Each structure stands twice: as C-alpha cells, then as structure tokens.
Amino acid sequence: MPEVRQERTGWRDEALSRRHRRWGWDCPAVDLDFLFLEYDHGRASAIVEYKNEHAAPQYASHPTYQAMIDLGNRAGIPVLACRYADDFSQWKVTPLNHEARKYIPNRVTLSEQEWVRLLYRIRGYEVPQAVLDAIYTEV
C-alpha cells in the first residue's frame, strides 16, 4: 500500500491533517487551498478554486479536481479554476465541467471587471455600476 503524503506546509489545521492521514490511503481528503462556493440567496451557483499566479500548476486530471468536478456535476453548477495576478489585473479562468463551459467554452484571460461580470452572469444578474467603479478604487 502506498504511503500517505505528509503535511507539507504547516499552515493548515495540522493536528486534523495528521490524524486524517492515519485513516489510510483509501480514505483520501484534501484541504483545498482557496475553494470558494459562490452562492446567491442560500443556493450554490458555482465552485471556484482560486490560485495565485505563482502557485504550482493546476491539473484537472488530479483526483482532487475530479472530486470538485464531480461535486459540481452532481449539483448542476459550474466548476472553475481561476489563477489571479498579484495585482488582480488578470484572471486566467478554466472551465472544468459542462456547466462552466456554458459560460466560457475554453480557458480565457479576463480583466477583473470581466471576471466580476462573469460571476454576476452565473447568478443571473448584471453588475451594478457602483461595484464596477469600486474595482478601480484604491483602498
């Protein structure tokens, strides 16, 4: 039986991570880095796995992503992988399931405004101008 991978980063709830690894190879789980459940009025609208542009590459064939895709398919919602630039100027978005491809058929690079428009469109809304204006306001 293959050995279960050890905790690598130390920033998660390490005690739970170590404990879960004792449960064996056939009981896999993952603490996803930055998984967002996009929702509206208490209803799930999309699953997005966010990664910074400097993070390790994402592979849709990895069992972690396959589990996310399965979850989205069962829920009938889009599943997207999104790599964002440090300055939030670019959002590289990859559709991971059929529902996501209804909105974007292939991987695309979007501006922040375009990304926000997509998130609103998935929910069935137009973006309020005040929100678009706030994107360019420095805090």
- Cβ-contact 95, 103 below 8 angstroms: yes
- Going by the DSSP 8-state scheme, the letter that residue 100 receives in this structure is H
Q: Tens digits of per-residue pLDDT, 31-88?
A: 666 788 999 999 999 999 999 999 888 889 998 899 999 999 999 999 999 999 999 9
| Span 89-100, pLDDT tens digits | 999 999 999 999
Q: Which amino acid is at 98?
A: H
Helix, strand, or coil here: 25? coil
pTM for this structure?
0.82
Nearest to 81 by CA among 44, 30, 115, 128: 115
Please count the CA atoms within 13 angstroms of the CA of 91 that sit on its side-chain side. Answer: 19
